[in-house]
Structure 1
């Protein structure tokens, strides 16, 4: 199982490589420090997962390219920000995992395991309040006030854990089609258009 690690800092690449190889049997990590090197590596052979630091010059454009050209290739973003707006921006651009640098190593391992299992990882996040007055930030309803059935709230909870529809179905003992119906109801209740947006919105609602 090959990982592509895109990070400009040699010490960070070395630390993450050691961590991945320690926790993922048979893992091989290819570390690169530029977007051009990452594109060359991707052209030679697609990895199982890409770990990307968006501070690499052109990193966000690479994330968008990966979504466009390799939709099924999971990308986990490493970020210096833990603000909800930044996470949502990365998720909408194609990431399926978002790990702030402040996270401990166990959290990173769990995030990678979840993404490799088909899920989405989003940590607890904080809203950005420095660019708009509080009155301009729309208030989100409490979960108790959402027009959801108890089972749909179970689905919402599992969505916030990053589980895929298949894993949610297994957890709840229902069909994948039933989960899809519940997810649609959750998206409508939260006023969002995708499950990644739902995860971030749900964090704010509970928050």
Structure 2
């Protein structure tokens, strides 16, 4: 015999914008669906300049990311030296999918401190909405303790992204005779014919990878010590 518990989630559809971030001077990057208590880090890969709808990426040879790119035998970015500037390069991105995968691998490596790259900004989420304000305009990617967030397609002055790296977590399973506030416990004694109440508590994210979640199903199997 199995008992099924359903939790229906009404998911607010949020507008998603993407990196790079750029503005006249500074920009704001907002993360929705952030996990409270987790650290989020912003890394600026390239500088960016824009005029109207046109934009250009550059990187200096003093950047820690310059070393990562030039030391890679097959990087997803092409660098061309700017002859009128000392130690600066124009950057082009031939394939955004390759760039995405490259940044994903770097995010995984950074979490293991290899390479040990310092973030340009770092915040701990105190609510499900997290804002990086006063960011220098540039080409960024964001990592969290749960995984990486990388978006590299659209452009705006202030942008919003959604953290989709969360995983569901079962927090507790409890039983009670009466359902009164202080009666819930991990276990209880009961006689044949008693009516018991069960409840579960869980963290259920709004997204599973890149898909929005509308329903979770919990399946409870009978313990081996029970017969029926």
Bucket of the pairwise TM-score, normalised by the shorter protein: under 0.3
TM-score (norm 2): 0.23
Larger strand share, 1 or 2: 2
> Which one has a bigger Cα radius of gyration?
2
If asked which structure has higher relative contact order (CA below 8 Å, sep 6+), I would say 2
Larger helix share, 1 or 2: 1
